[in-house]
Structure 1
């Protein structure tokens, strides 16, 4: 049985993934933004292998999350599920970054760089990532007028490119990106067409399945099928430029293979 860490797992797709894995006998480490969020998960807390706490908007707290996970032990898989959508303004994190960039891109990068390397990495993206090309000129939105939809699309393109870059750099790790679809979560709303079980199925399958179809790396998935991502995500130069930019913004170098 595997042990899996899931970011943003007190509700929505993250919680659905946690419950699915627990129901199938796996061990799960949950992540909550705050102690108040932990109080909302009820009996689920007693079934977990641990709960780590920290706000992904803060680089310092994100580093703390990595320390908490490493103290529990090496994970078999990590599902980078947490994300924000269409923030009304650029906002400013404690480090001065745009909130969407911090949560959707910088936090997964920091956690990837600092948590002991697992066997599998799964990054949640979105079909909207295809509208995010051309982001590295002003990745932190310091020059452009704020565009919530564009910022979200760019961040989701960046995590696909990150997943693919890691598949190349860390060949012993299975690293993939997933579009879960427009799911009925707090973010997606009650009218979304995808139910929670369908929305969580691909990422949990990639995290724990030994089926040959799941034992691949550097792919983009939607509802258990591989799909073609945006061209920029596949571009090796873009991937390397993105890694360099993330190292610059965070002050954290990605470990070598």
Structure 2
């Protein structure tokens, strides 16, 4: 059985993935933003999940989340699920936090990052991006392009880790809205599969997936110059260097 850490586990896709992985007998570490959200994951804790707490829009708190995860023990997989759709915290939560957690959590066997089909509308421009969240400087689409590019960079830099990005579809979560047309179960099935499956396809790295099928991401996601510039920006603003290999 695997040990899996899932960010943003209080509801939606993160909660669904945690619930199913626990039911399958895996060890799961869930995450909530603040103590007021503890009740939202109590049923998961009652099923055996461990829990960490921290606001991923705050750099110091994100570093503390990584420390909490490391104290629970070595992870086999990390699902970077947490995200926001609007406001100045888009970049800190959707891009900076996954970068920091990736750099600081003891390296797992598998890394899964939540992208979006909307990343295809993102702009591969890093100039004037406010990585701190002091102002809104990038769109949701931009943030998902950035995280997809980070995924592909990690797949290239860390050949010993299986790194993949997932488009969960437009599903009826708090972010997606009650009227979203896609199947919520399918929205987190791919993440679960990539985290624990021994299927040959799930053991490939550098994929962009939608409902367990590989798709072609934005061309910039595979642009090594863009990947390197992104990582350099993130290292500079956080003071945290991503290991090369």
- TM-score normalised by the shorter chain: which range applies? over 0.9
Q: TM-score, normalised by structure 2?
A: 0.96
Contact conserved, 2:207 with 2:214, CA < 8 A, in 1?
Answer: yes
Residue 119, structure 1, aligned to residue 102, structure 2:
no
8 Å CA contact 1:163–1:176 kept in 2: the answer is yes
Indicate if the aligned counterparts of 2:84 and 2:93 stay in contact, CA closer than 8 A: yes
C-alpha change, 1:136 and 1:34, in structure 2 (3 Å) is same
Q: Is the 8 A contact 1:123 1:176 kept in 2?
A: yes
Contact 1:182 1:188 in 2 (8 A): yes
SS at the partner of 1:29?
strand
Name 1:109's counterpart in structure 2: 99
State the partner residue of 2:209. 221
Distance 1:126 1:16 in 2: 18
Secondary structure at 1:136 match in 2: coil
Q: What is the Cα deviation at residue 46 of structure 1?
A: 1.8
1:28 aligns with 2:31: no
Does the residue aligned with 1:41 lie in a helix, a strand or coil?
helix
Contact 1:29 1:48 in 2 (8 A): no
Scaled by the length of structure 1, the TM-score of the pair is 0.91
Q: CA RMSD in A?
A: 1.4
Q: CA deviation at 1:136?
A: 0.8
- Unmatched tracts of structure 1, length 5 or more: 91-98
Question: How far apart are residue 156 of structure 1 and its match?
Answer: 0.3
- 1:71 aligns with 71
Q: CA deviation at 1:146?
A: 4.9
- Would the aligned equivalents of 1:169 and 1:256 in 2 still touch at CA under 8 Å? yes
Residue 172 (structure 2) aligns with: 184
Superposition pairs of residues 121-200 of structure 1, within 5 angstroms: 121-140=111-130, 146=136, 151-200=139-188
Q: Deviations over 1:147-170 (max 9, x none)?
A: 7xx511111001101111001111
How far residue 30 of structure 1 moved from its aligned partner, in angstroms, is 0.1
Note if contact 2:92-2:131 (Cα within 8 Å) is conserved in structure 1: no
For structure 2, the 5+ residue unaligned runs are none
List structure 1 runs of 4+ shifted beyond 4 angstroms.
none
Give the distance between the partners of 2:218 and 2:124, measured in 1 at CA: 11
Total equivalences in the alignment: 243
Matching residue of 2:232 = 244
TM-superposed CA distance for 1:141, in Å, is 7.7
Deviations 1:18-64 (A, max 9, x none): 01111111110000001111112232212234100000010000000
Q: Distance in 2 between matches of 1:17 and 1:134?
A: 30
8 A Cα contact 1:30 1:48, kept in partner: no
